[in-house]
């Protein structure tokens, strides 16, 4: 959406849609609010969606049909398997994830329960 006030009609071919604003600002026709850089906007299923740029903007559209099975979510982990979530939690707590870029800071999931310290952290 390079031009100010550019419009984008989001196709109605999927039930679920969202837009991630990479740069610039957008608004949704008929709605109040402005969405800017790094915001994810999820749309109501079945809604007619027209996005309006408030200046040069880049965004990513995400959409599709809902997954047929239940999703489990814990922290930054999402899976259709609760066992996978448990394994990811354990792997994160014990440093078994590969480093990303130059980041070296460990971010804990949740505080450990009182009196318990996980070895190696």
State residue 25 phi and psi, 5-degree precision: -140, 145
Residue 116 lies in a domain: no
Residue 26 belongs to domain spanning = 7-64
Query: 23 and 60 share a domain?
Result: yes
Query: 23 and 57 share a domain?
Result: yes
| CATH code of residue 21 | 2.60.120.10
pLDDT tens digits along 48-68: 899 999 999 999 999 888 888
DSSP assignment letter at 116: -
C-alpha 59/C-alpha 89 separation (Å) is: 31
pLDDT tens digits along 84-103: 989 999 999 888 988 777 77
- Domain count of the fold of the chain: 2
Query: 44 and 73 share a domain?
Result: no
C-alpha 89/C-alpha 99 separation (Å) is: 16
């Amino acid at each position: 959406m390079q031009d100010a006030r550019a419009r984008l009609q989001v196709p109605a071919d999927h039930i679920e849609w969202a837009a991630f604003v990479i740069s610039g600002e957008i608004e949704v026709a008929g709605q109040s609010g402005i969405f800017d850089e790094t915001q994810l906007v999820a749309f109501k299923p079945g809604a007619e969606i027209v996005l309006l740029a408030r200046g040069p903007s880049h965004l990513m559209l995400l959409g599709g049909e809902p997954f047929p099975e239940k999703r489990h979510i814990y922290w930054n982990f999402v899976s259709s398997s609760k066992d996978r979530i448990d394994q990811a939690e354990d792997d994160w707590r014990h440093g078994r994830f590969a480093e990303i870029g130059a980041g070296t800071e460990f971010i804990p999931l949740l505080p450990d329960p009182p009196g318990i310290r996980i070895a190696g952290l």
